[in-house]
Amino acid sequence: MSPTPAPSYSRPVVRLRPKAEARAIRHGFPWVYADELVLDRRTSGMAPGTLAVLEDAERRALGLVTVNPASKIVARMLDRDPEAAVDQAWFEARLARALALRARLYPAPFYRLVHAEADGLPGVVIDRFGEVAVVQPNAAWAEAHLAALVAALVAVTGVATVIKNGSGRARGLEGLAEEMAVVHGPAPTEPVVVPMNGASYMADLMGGQKTGLFFDQRENHALAARLARGARVLDVFTHVGGFALAALAGGAAQALAVDASAPALALAEAGAKASGFGDRFQTRQGDAFAVLEALGAEGARFDLVICDPPAFAPAKPALEAGLRAYERIARLAAPLVAPGGYLVLCSCSHAADLSAFRNASARGIGRGGRRGQILWTGFAGPDHPVLPQLAESSYLKALAFRLDG
């Protein structure tokens, strides 16, 4: 009996090493690391973003992947069908599924529309701001297929403007250059007003951090707003008003917002004014650690203190230093909380899991001479779904403590 011939594919084939864990791929893990793939001369010579059929060591097809030999994540799963056509219709199907979820969750079109692997578009982030969408193509394949992605995005959502935000650490890891450009429609000439949790936020979509606003904290903002009724609030690393504006919408007596960026604080002030909170809102520009130390020396006290820093541990090599930074933040912030008040600490570090972050925060609070109880453990909102097989898709942690006297 003659052996069954190997299937013939219209695309190149890449193959897992014999000891690579094909079962994890079959069960939904979306990445193949460089040490798991046979990187012969042909595979190593593939252009970043090449579409290929992934086979296991026994030459059984696992699906369609995108290959980037320059990346540690050498292959990303795109489709279980190895012959899938990655065209505008393919993008439209995935975007329509993502849109259906967000439209069910939110009454207004302000949300994360696509959360990368969790929405079936590896390395792609899309945030929607009403009639404007900001796309972050953080993987080589998305850069190569950007025209089809943008056309599908316009067709599915009807947005008038699409901005490409090609900045950030992830693109560097893929070997991609930084670029900011309007790729569809007219460029926004002023910040976009984003209604969220009863406040009006100002998002600078062309010059702000990330895509202009952090939608992921929406649920945690709402919790802080409930704690803020009648409170004096300190919001450190506020960006464009973050927790402070939500707290004021929730009835805070006053809020002090701290950030190193003068442009971000100007947007926060504009948001407070637009929300009708201008008379209860103040800002202080400076390094967060230095401001916390200065407030402590001044004897300042607040009923609610929130610290939402950038990622101190974006990758494993930075984990120990990052955890020390989170501990220091907690140590400096805890003494500023009035007896019986609340402290909210956040981390968006992929490398620091919840247990490590919680332990670092508790150590810092203890070193700050305080004790307390955890009232709330928060994560990113439901417009940031998590792929169960990929821990990295769950990155945001928020802890709310009530501190003793």
pLDDT of residue 352: 95
For residue 279, is it within any domain?
yes
CB atoms within 10 A of CB 77: 20
CB atoms within 10 A of CB 310: 14
Task: Given the residues 348, 365, 398, 400, select the one marked as catalytic.
Answer: 348
Residues 296 and 382 in one domain: yes
How distant, in Å, are the alpha carbons of 39, 138, 182, 198, 265 from that of 210? 34, 12, 15, 23, 16
pLDDT of residue 392: 87
Each residue's pLDDT tens digit, 340-389: 999 999 999 989 999 999 999 999 999 999 999 999 999 999 999 999 99
Residues 135 and 248 in one domain: no
- Show the tokens assigned to 299: 């004897």
For residue 62, is it within any domain?
yes
pLDDT of residue 22: 84
- Taking 50 as the pLDDT cut, the residues of the chain under it are 1-3
> Which domain does 349 fall in, by range?
193-403
Out of 79, 99, 122, a domain closes at: 79
> 92 phi and psi, to 5 degrees?
-60, -40
The terminus-to-terminus CA distance of the chain in angstroms comes to 82
How distant, in Å, are the alpha carbons of 130, 215, 217 from that of 110? 6, 8, 13
CB atoms within 10 A of CB 160: 14
The H or E element spanning position 156 is: helix 146-157
Contacts 24+ apart (CB under 8 A), 216-219: 216/112, 216/348, 216/380, 216/381, 216/384, 216/396, 217/242, 217/243, 217/308, 217/346, 217/380, 217/381, 217/396, 217/398, 218/381, 218/383, 219/378, 219/379, 219/380, 219/381
Instruction: Decide: pTM greater than 0.85.
Output: yes
All residues at 6 or more sequence positions from 55 whose CB lies less than 8 Å from its CB, including other chains: 13, 14, 15, 16, 61, 62
Residues 126 and 247 in one domain: no
Give 83-130 as a DSSP string.
T---SHHHHHHHHHHHHHHHHHH-SSSEEEEEEGGGGT-TTEEEEEET
How distant, in Å, are the alpha carbons of 114, 189, 280 from that of 384? 8, 28, 32
- Is there a contact between 29 and 70 (Cβ–Cβ < 8 Å)? no
Query: Strand locations in 308-379, DSSP E?
Result: 337-347, 372-378
Distance CA 260, CA 256 (A): 13
Q: Is 307 a catalytic residue?
A: no
For residue 64, is it within any domain?
yes
pLDDT of residue 5: 53
pLDDT of residue 257: 98
Number of compact structural domains in the chain:
3
The maximal CA–CA distance of the chain, rounded, in angstroms, is 87
pLDDT of residue 156: 98
Residues 25 and 159 in one domain: no
Out of 79, 101, 128, a domain closes at: 79
Q: Residue 18 is part of a domain; what is its CATH number? A: 2.30.130.10
CB atoms within 10 A of CB 166: 18
Out of 184, 211, 242, a domain closes at: 184
Each residue's pLDDT tens digit, 256-268: 999 999 999 999 9
